[in-house]
Amino acid sequence: MKRFFVFFLLLAFLLSFVFAYTLTILETTDLHGHIYPVDYSNNATTNYGLARIATLIQKIKSQQQNVLLFDDGDLIQGSPLEYYHAAIDNSGIDPMIEIMNYLGYNAMTLGNHEFNYGQQVLRKAISEANFPITSANIVNAETGKPEYGNGYVIFNMKDGPTVGYIALTTQYIPNWEEPSHIKGIDFLDAVQTGQKYVNLLKSMGVDVIIIGYHGGLERNPANGQPTEELTGENEGYAIATQVNGISALLLGHQHLSYALKIGNLPVVMASYWGNALGKITLELEHVNGKWTVISSSATLISAKGVTPDATVMSLVQKEEDATQKWLDQPLGTSLGDFYVSNPLYARMRDNPLIQFVNTVQMYYSGAKISSTALFNDQVRGWKKGPVTMRDVMAVYIYPNTLNVIEVKGKDIRSALEQTASYFTFNNNEIGISKMPGYNYDMYEGISYVIDLTKPVGQRIVWLAYNGKPLTDDATYDVVLNNYRSGGGGNYLMFKGKPVVKSVMMEVSELMADYIRTQKVLCPSVDENWMVITKPFETLFQTYTVSQGDTIESIALKFNTSVQKIKGLNAIVSPIKVGELLLVPQN
């Protein structure tokens, strides 16, 4: 009896003994195929790329023992290197996966762009990884179970806690993705799924739970106020505040950079393209047989100035060389500049580059109205001389296809009002709202004027089609990329509209094919749209076509050009007596 008493005393003593443990969690996200620190549009050296991040990872791993490394999605799409591997030569291991295997990643959350090249490319990449690539809320439509992996991974840390990683992905993917790429798959609510799996892991005795969510914050983390329309695309704040039992939250998708706390929960989003490495440190204690997080911190480590890992670059040198050779293939010749020197100005006036993309979309789709965007401020286009695949890929950076959808005139007007909210205008100064550039659309086939002196929602002061004011209840066919035609970018007026025709070649391929066919390009603009900073009524007036009028005579009467009259009114056929035209004020 005495021996048992001593044994229990000793056991109680051991259980009461405090063990300290430090767990380091590293995150990359939205790498989008960027390994080399290079801008593929001109081969200039950049401060981003997984090769730079690899140096940071290796350093931390050499200094600290208990390190878990995760990626939060959007990995295998977004750079010419990954495009070449997915669309041109899909033999061999995916370059991104090869590097992540080398670096010893522990798990990855699927991102929305993982689906862009279809199931075959995605499943091949998953099969090549030495680590789980999964998502708990992407499930088989029939079984309701995760389609890729288990949705979670459990790590039994040496002399430490049991750690669980739950992968979640934005449920908004069906609004963007080509339906054939996600056939038979359902996307469940991330918040509800997160709590379900937390409860599951807790029941399995997991001590520390990390969620890696490919989505961002939909609310201000300081005050909880919405920062965007709450569509379900981003639910990071809801996960942080409503899912109980997690110790760290890794975010992505929004291409933002932050390390912060929501309550006591450490949260990171490690930028994009390998600009930064996210790091969360958890300090734990083992007391009375239980591991408890006693403190935590979240930081970002910039890749700027970090020496790229030479081994990482050598592992995919063959693929990089093949990509570079492919990018420099000449497609045709440009007789002038299709170049954006000022992105803000390019979004305020019709320009050759955007008109060219819209022209290509209309040519291959047969639609009379087209819309596209200048996807970011780094998109520049090309200047006079040879045009290469590199030029095309640098302009159209996403693997979008095209849909022609049937919409009402009021849908076009509503979409233009949303586009016009891109600008702010205070004290006669033009600014930019929180809308990203890829959601600011520019149209061909219609004429329109955006008046920044008017309130948001009332800025489309002129809208015409084929020489006549566009009618709200009339039906029009518009060609858009598959992201926008599904309502992406919160253009919900397009969601669910009848699809008249689909063009399944990627837009970048269509552009390349068009240049090869035409051989010679000449930059032009038809001046069919503009953004003005003075009241519309002080700059323009309407004119009713009279007997004997021609476009030439009207242009002469109002001291303007024929092109200006045609552009302002989207004229594609002869004018008729009684038609109402927009003309400049005398």
The two structure tokens encoding residue 224: 């909880």
pLDDT given for residue 114 in this prediction: 96
* DSSP string for residues in 561-583: -HHHHHHHHT--S---TT-EEEE
Could you give the CA distance from residue 31 to residue 72 in angstroms, rounded to a whole number?
Answer: 9
Q: What is the dihedral of CA 557, 558, 563, 565, to 10 degrees?
A: -100
Neighbours of 448 (CB within 10 A): 25
Could you give the CA distance from residue 425 to residue 387 in angstroms, rounded to a whole number?
Answer: 37
Q: What percent of the chain has pLDDT over 70?
A: 97
Model confidence pLDDT, tens digit, residues 182-192: 999 999 999 99
**Bridge partner residues of 211 (DSSP):** 166, 249
Model confidence pLDDT, tens digit, residues 407-450: 999 999 999 999 999 999 999 999 999 899 999 999 999 999 99
Backbone CA torsion sign across 189, 214, 398, 380? positive
The two structure tokens encoding residue 155: 């790590």
- Are 36 and 50 in contact by the 8 Å Cβ rule? The answer is no
The two structure tokens encoding residue 103: 């670096």
- Are 70 and 27 in contact by the 8 Å Cβ rule? The answer is yes
The two structure tokens encoding residue 95: 């370059």
Q: Tell me the pTM.
A: 0.79
Backbone CA torsion sign across 251, 254, 259, 265? negative
How does 428-439 read in b/e, with b if 16+ C-beta sit within 10 Å?
Answer: eeeeeeebebbb
Written as one letter, the residue type at 258 is: Y
Q: Exposed, middle or buried: residue 453 (CB in 10 Å: 0-12, 13-18, 19+)?
A: middle
**CA 571 to chain centroid:** 35
* DSSP string for residues in 491-526: -GGGTT--EEEEE-S-HHHHHHHHHHHH-EE-----
Phi, psi of 292 (to 5 degrees): -135, 135
Strand order from edge to edge, sheet including 67-71: 133-134, 107-109, 67-71, 19-28, 276-287, 290-302
Per-run averaged pLDDT (10 residues), the chain, 586 residues: 51 58 98 94 92 98 97 94 93 97 98 94 98 98 98 96 98 86 97 98 97 97 90 95 98 95 98 97 94 97 98 98 94 97 96 97 96 95 96 89 94 98 95 94 97 97 92 96 91 91 84 93 95 96 93 93 90 88 89
Going by C-alpha positions, the residue among 379, 380, 359, 384 that lies closest to residue 371 is: 359
pLDDT given for residue 417 in this prediction: 98
- Are 502 and 403 in contact by the 8 Å Cβ rule? The answer is yes
User: Which of helix, strand or coil describes residue 87?
Assistant: helix
Measured between alpha carbons, how far is residue 495 from residues 69, 212, 372, 486, 491 in Å? 38, 29, 17, 5, 7
Average model confidence (pLDDT) across the chain: 93
Q: What is the dihedral of CA 402, 408, 412, 418, to 10 degrees?
A: -100
